[in-house]
Structure 1
Amino acid sequence: MMEAPKTYPAWVFDNSEIPDPFCYGERAVNFLRHLKHPKSLRKGRQFALDPWMERIIRRVYGPRHEDGTRVVKTVFAMIPRGNRKTTLGAALTLLHSIGPERTPGGQVICAAADKKQARIAFEEAISVIREDRRLIPLVEAQDYRNRLTDKRSGTVVEAISADAKTQHGRTPTMTLMDELHSWPKRDLWEALKTGLLKTAGSLNVIITTAGRGQENIAFETYAYARKVALGEIDDPATLPIIFEAPPDCDWRDEAVWHLVNPGLRHGYPDLDGLRQYAREAENRPGDRESFRQLNLNIWLDHSADPFIDMAVYDLTAKPVPVPEGAPCWIGVDMSSTTDLTAVVACVVDEDENCHIVPHFFVPGDNLRLRAERDGVPYPLWAEQGFITATPGNVIDYRAVEQCIRDLCDRFDAREIDFDAAYAQAVMGPLTDDGYPVATLRQGWVTQSPALNELERVILAGRFLHGGHPVLRWCFDNVAIHTDSAGNRTMHKGKSTDRIDGAVASWMAVSRAVASEAKSIYDSETWCGVLLVLAQVAFGTDRPQGLTQQGFEAPSR
């Protein structure tokens, strides 16, 4: 069995004592045990409160202050997909709507990114009520309004989505925030979080799988709960329940699966289904990352469907001397005058390794503001020489042009490929001076096969990038779109992401690979092969018109 992460909630399984001085934890468990569930296989359809769920219920409602108020105010439960998070959420909703935790005139909010997701726990709670004749007369369900009311206390349960404009007037006593990682913005979070402060004894429950990226409210909440779990923050009011695998674990190891999926010991999620998904993910980077995120709860870096495993990318981060004067292909991804422009040279050595020499340009004015917008340290990168901040509030295209000229002086430039957009100001002078300028279309027709070549070079360990941080950031931001025919194109994971360096890289590397592949047909070696074939075919020393260098024009 692998070693559990330090954030692992061992108390869920170790049968350690959970304080319950007022027996409120026992009361909550007994209430749930007497409910019925329409999908339960137990006798009388008894609500299936498996031991790990029961421990969580006891840990939320048992510990109390001397005055009887609940210690726990926020629950952050990060649990992989398929472990019946919805059932847990429905149980908590029922406790606060028709159960012993309800309060007169209370508001219970089931919130999610969209109405459909918000209704999942809400619908399961209603299905439990409808399964028990004793409960049906106690509630009024308005299904079309996503709302139910406990007639005795006036407590209202409502499912809402991320429409923050209509939520600031609420005073919730309990909120269930479902799949926080998929919330598009923080407005709904702020509306509900501030609303909870209006009522003493309120409870905020977050039940989610791991997410992607760090520029969102889900990561902020996860990062805080993780620090509480690690003991870096002393906050008894926050209960972190974080089932996450280590980022560097072997994602195919079933011991890891059992560690982070608390329901596996009870038969869910389906183990054979996980095995099949893992087999398919072996050769599908997008599926592999989804498996790591959703089934192993590993918080991923940035892009929605990554182009390459960044651990593989990092294997060639060690700086290696670039062969001066070697053949070189240059990719240029010009931006608008206010964004990031990338110039990437692919220098090919005798062993067919691709040495990547990247240069980046941004406007120098408001550099710190740009850094805050994009979430990266532009000022530090500029100070360290990883990026060129040209004076003014727009990129000085003359600096980009001079960079390309310097690369051509340093290496044997065979081709300079531009994305035609915004490129004319730099292409024109270079073309006039006889540089090997070309344009490369950005559609799937050119990009899909080029991505295959770039991926092959990276996986083969021949993409020698030297650990350039800006280039790595660009690759980490890449999201791959695959159409129904299997054609792939690069996209940004988020609007603030920049992938210019990755785009310039596929341009340079793909053209280098294509040119190197064609070169054998243009070489003296190939002409020598033709000569031998001709000798065999014609039985002569040399057929007329063929030289060691190729075919001659016939003499007149």
Structure 2
Amino acid sequence: MGRRGPKAGPLKTADTPREIGAHCFLWERPGLSRAARVIIFVESLPITSGMHAGRRFRLRPWQKKIVKALYRTRGGRRVVRKALLTLPRKNGKTALAAALALAHLIGPEAEQRGQVYSAAADRGQASIIFAEMEAVIGAVPEFAARCNVQRFRKAIEDDVTGSVYHALSSDDRKAHGLSPSFVVYDELAQARTRHLFDNLDTGAGARREPLMVVISTQSSDHHHVMSELVEYGRKVLDGVIEDETFLPIIYAAPPDADPWSEEVWRACNPALGDFRSLEEMRQFAAQAKRIPAKETVFRALYLNQPVEVDGRFIAQADWEACRGEVDPEALRGRPCWAGLDLGSTTDLTALVLYFPEDGGAVLPFFWVPAENLDEREDDDRVPYRTWASQGLIETTPGRAIDRRAIAMRLAEVASRFDLKGVAYDRWRIEDLKVILADEGIELPLTPWGQGFKDMAPAVDLLEAGILQRQIAHGGHPVLTWCASNVVIETDPAGGRKISKSRSREKVDGTVALTMAMGLHARAEVPAAPPAWLERGLLAV
């Protein structure tokens, strides 16, 4: 199959594709549109594996519609610069991605010294598209003659145009300085950071007609770059944003759709009953009905709904249903209870106020050290700098949290609201108590254990409050992020607490809210009268 390695000699060379062998490249016929050329090229490629191996690709009508939209032109130039194709698994995305990459490497969209990339979250995933491209090239003598396939580097060089292809992963540090002409990003939702996406996206400025195609299921993380693209795409589809250079194609079941309806399945799985097995989907759905953990997998991978698949405590839909507006000015002077979760000197700290008499309004405050915000964004994969600029999180100078800033905020809170109590984690509280004493700030502080004894009844209250829509968090993004990370630990007696060790990322805001609700409930339950009073005895 062509040359192997950077110093190997070619099997056969040619100056132009038309001179290679006797094969007629039908997509080169005059008068064809760009979309038609790509369709003809793709349908000339052989299928190299599976039950249809040996046959040629046959694009379905829905796939042709995608290609026509993707390669639409105006004045001879392609309109679309970025495309989002999000659909459930097993709908042929890998084969389509490989075919499009080949179209830009050695087909009708190839350009002189082009740079073609497939990207993925890890090297294993990134190799899938490479393997498909390698197999196709090996099955077509004309392609094998012009291509140098370097399996170890996951790279392909085209002798005719000088174009190159590389498979990249999110842990690849070679993405800087690239000038891609075409990128297909496979399963972007699995990427831990957005660095590779951003580097490839911004590196195409030197190209006349660059194109990036993202093919992925959705992400359950609202702050993930994949979620940003889906949200932007929906606004384009709804006409809220006008951007003809962005092509959004979204196959996903609505949040309120019946997950067991085959009509719903067909609406979001365009290949169902064709090369996507209906029988297999029926079998998995039958299991998912009986096993809750499999239901989330079914929703995420078979219906392309942005749901968690690891059994998080708070379901996204339930949390969103408690969004309710929160007006801090309207809460001035109103009774509230607070929870304070002090992070380490370099970690997230949260103070959350709970107003039970005002529709369960929740007012959170957060702090992080100002230094190393870039590293923190990389580690936690959330936009700390954006949150800080929007006033959603406070930064304190230096590498460690300034406890004095927290003390001053507590004093300001006590002056604005009727602060009935502050539940706090005993860990790391002594330094703050010293500062409060030095500043003459008196607060109704109450220690709150983080074990099952104190947290179990509070977790029950939080769960009930969310399920019964008895809280209103205003959609605060930092608190929403914390809520999405919560994992619960259960003791043999059935008591539950928030597990910081098992939770994927920060949960401090949710811990603080839980303590605040627990403290309020404790204050509302009057202490039991002493036994001597119940017996009618009086002290003299």
Q: TM-score, normalised by structure 1?
A: 0.67
| 1:474 and 2:479 correspond | yes
| 1:453 and 2:460 correspond | yes
Q: How far is 1:140 from its partner?
A: 2.6
Partner of 1:115: 123
Give the conservation status (yes or no) of the 8 Å contact 2:403–2:432.
no
Runs of at least 5 residues in structure 1 that lack an aligned partner in the other structure: 1-19, 528-546
Give the conservation status (yes or no) of the 8 Å contact 2:111–2:161.
yes
Q: What is the 5 A alignment of 1:295-306?
A: 295-299=302-306, 306=312
From the superposition, tell whether residues 295 and 374 of structure 1 become closer, same or farther in structure 2 (CA, over 3 Å): farther
Q: What is the 5 A alignment of 1:403-552?
A: 417-425=423-431, 437-441=446-450, 449=456, 453-454=460-461, 456-458=463-465, 461=468, 464-465=470-471, 467-469=472-474, 474-478=479-483, 479-481=485-487, 489-490=499-500, 499-509=507-517, 549=534
The one of 88, 106, 126 equivalent to 2:96 is 88
From the superposition, tell whether residues 35 and 418 of structure 1 become closer, same or farther in structure 2 (CA, over 3 Å): same
Partner of 1:35: 45
Alpha-carbon deviations, 1:48-101, whole Å to 9, x = none? 53332233234334x3344x4434333221222222211110111122223333
In the alignment, the residues of structure 2 paired with residue 506 and residue 225 of structure 1 have an alpha-carbon distance, to the nearest angstrom, of 36
Matched residue type, 2:427 = A
Give the conservation status (yes or no) of the 8 Å contact 2:117–2:180.
yes
Helix, strand or coil: the match of 2:427? Answer: coil
Partner of 2:15: none
| 1:272 and 2:282 correspond | yes
Matched residue type, 1:373 = Y
In the alignment, the residues of structure 2 paired with residue 97 and residue 518 of structure 1 have an alpha-carbon distance, to the nearest angstrom, of 75
Helix, strand or coil: the match of 2:248? Answer: strand
Alpha-carbon deviations, 1:306-336, whole Å to 9, x = none? 43235434666599xx9xxx9x986432356
The one of 284, 301, 314 equivalent to 1:308 is 314
| 1:240 and 2:251 correspond | no
Partner of 1:56: 66
Alpha-carbon deviations, 1:99-138, whole Å to 9, x = none? 3333343321112232222212111222233345664444
Helix, strand or coil: the match of 1:477? Answer: helix
Partner of 1:177: 185
In the alignment, the residues of structure 2 paired with residue 76 and residue 38 of structure 1 have an alpha-carbon distance, to the nearest angstrom, of 26
In the alignment, the residues of structure 2 paired with residue 163 and residue 218 of structure 1 have an alpha-carbon distance, to the nearest angstrom, of 17
Give the conservation status (yes or no) of the 8 Å contact 1:112–1:118.
yes
Matched residue type, 2:470 = L
Give the conservation status (yes or no) of the 8 Å contact 2:35–2:68.
yes
Q: How far is 1:159 from its partner?
A: 0.4
From the superposition, tell whether residues 365 and 151 of structure 1 become closer, same or farther in structure 2 (CA, over 3 Å): closer
In the alignment, the residues of structure 2 paired with residue 434 and residue 160 of structure 1 have an alpha-carbon distance, to the nearest angstrom, of 55
Q: How far is 1:174 from its partner?
A: 1.6
Helix, strand or coil: the match of 1:159? Answer: strand
Matched residue type, 1:480 = V
Matched residue type, 1:469 = G
Give the conservation status (yes or no) of the 8 Å contact 1:173–1:196.
yes
Partner of 1:544: none
Greater shift in the superposed pair: 129-138 or 144-153: 129-138
In the alignment, the residues of structure 2 paired with residue 48 and residue 447 of structure 1 have an alpha-carbon distance, to the nearest angstrom, of 62
Helix, strand or coil: the match of 1:166? Answer: coil
In the alignment, the residues of structure 1 paired with residue 320 and residue 83 of structure 2 have an alpha-carbon distance, to the nearest angstrom, of 36
In the alignment, the residues of structure 2 paired with residue 441 and residue 484 of structure 1 have an alpha-carbon distance, to the nearest angstrom, of 13
From the superposition, tell whether residues 303 and 381 of structure 1 become closer, same or farther in structure 2 (CA, over 3 Å): farther
Greater shift in the superposed pair: 116-125 or 477-486: 477-486
The one of 153, 161, 164 equivalent to 2:169 is 161
Partner of 1:44: 54
Q: How far is 1:147 from its partner?
A: 1.0
Partner of 2:150: 142
Alpha-carbon deviations, 1:169-194, whole Å to 9, x = none? 33332211222233344433343234
Q: How far is 1:503 from its partner?
A: 0.4
| 1:199 and 2:200 correspond | no
Alpha-carbon deviations, 1:400-451, whole Å to 9, x = none? 37968999x986x7xx743122322566889xx9978434136xx6698557
Q: How far is 1:143 from its partner?
A: 0.9
Give the conservation status (yes or no) of the 8 Å contact 2:91–2:275.
no
Runs of at least 5 residues in structure 2 that lack an aligned partner in the other structure: 1-29, 375-381, 397-401
In the alignment, the residues of structure 2 paired with residue 401 and residue 420 of structure 1 have an alpha-carbon distance, to the nearest angstrom, of 19
Partner of 2:264: 256
In the alignment, the residues of structure 1 paired with residue 250 and residue 275 of structure 2 have an alpha-carbon distance, to the nearest angstrom, of 20
In the alignment, the residues of structure 1 paired with residue 412 and residue 205 of structure 2 have an alpha-carbon distance, to the nearest angstrom, of 58
From the superposition, tell whether residues 419 and 218 of structure 1 become closer, same or farther in structure 2 (CA, over 3 Å): same
Q: How far is 1:142 from its partner?
A: 1.3
Matched residue type, 2:208 = A
From the superposition, tell whether residues 253 and 126 of structure 1 become closer, same or farther in structure 2 (CA, over 3 Å): same
Alpha-carbon deviations, 1:497-552, whole Å to 9, x = none? 6x434202333556788999998xx789xx9xxxxxxxxxxxxxxxxxxx9958x9
Identity %: 25
Helix, strand or coil: the match of 2:499? Answer: strand
Give the conservation status (yes or no) of the 8 Å contact 1:213–1:219.
yes
Give the conservation status (yes or no) of the 8 Å contact 1:332–1:419.
yes
In the alignment, the residues of structure 1 paired with residue 311 and residue 388 of structure 2 have an alpha-carbon distance, to the nearest angstrom, of 24
From the superposition, tell whether residues 139 and 227 of structure 1 become closer, same or farther in structure 2 (CA, over 3 Å): same
Give the conservation status (yes or no) of the 8 Å contact 1:400–1:426.
no
In the alignment, the residues of structure 1 paired with residue 524 and residue 403 of structure 2 have an alpha-carbon distance, to the nearest angstrom, of 40
In the alignment, the residues of structure 2 paired with residue 313 and residue 235 of structure 1 have an alpha-carbon distance, to the nearest angstrom, of 31
Partner of 1:373: 384
Helix, strand or coil: the match of 1:458? Answer: helix
Give the conservation status (yes or no) of the 8 Å contact 2:313–2:487.
no
In the alignment, the residues of structure 2 paired with residue 404 and residue 235 of structure 1 have an alpha-carbon distance, to the nearest angstrom, of 48
In the alignment, the residues of structure 1 paired with residue 407 and residue 503 of structure 2 have an alpha-carbon distance, to the nearest angstrom, of 27
In the alignment, the residues of structure 2 paired with residue 204 and residue 436 of structure 1 have an alpha-carbon distance, to the nearest angstrom, of 55
Matched residue type, 1:308 = I
| 1:128 and 2:139 correspond | no
Alpha-carbon deviations, 1:209-228, whole Å to 9, x = none? 22244545434443443343
Helix, strand or coil: the match of 1:474? Answer: helix
Q: What is the 5 A alignment of 1:265-344?
A: 265-268=273-276, 270-276=280-286, 278-279=288-289, 283=292, 291-299=298-306, 306-313=312-319, 331-335=339-343, 340-342=349-351
Helix, strand or coil: the match of 2:206? Answer: coil
Helix, strand or coil: the match of 1:204? Answer: strand
Helix, strand or coil: the match of 2:254? Answer: coil
In the alignment, the residues of structure 2 paired with residue 157 and residue 102 of structure 1 have an alpha-carbon distance, to the nearest angstrom, of 11
In the alignment, the residues of structure 2 paired with residue 357 and residue 228 of structure 1 have an alpha-carbon distance, to the nearest angstrom, of 33
The one of 83, 86, 95 equivalent to 1:78 is 86
Larger radius of gyration between Structure 1 and Structure 2: 1
Helix, strand or coil: the match of 2:110? Answer: coil
Q: How far is 1:473 from its partner?
A: 5.2
Alpha-carbon deviations, 1:253-279, whole Å to 9, x = none? 443332122122425264225514642
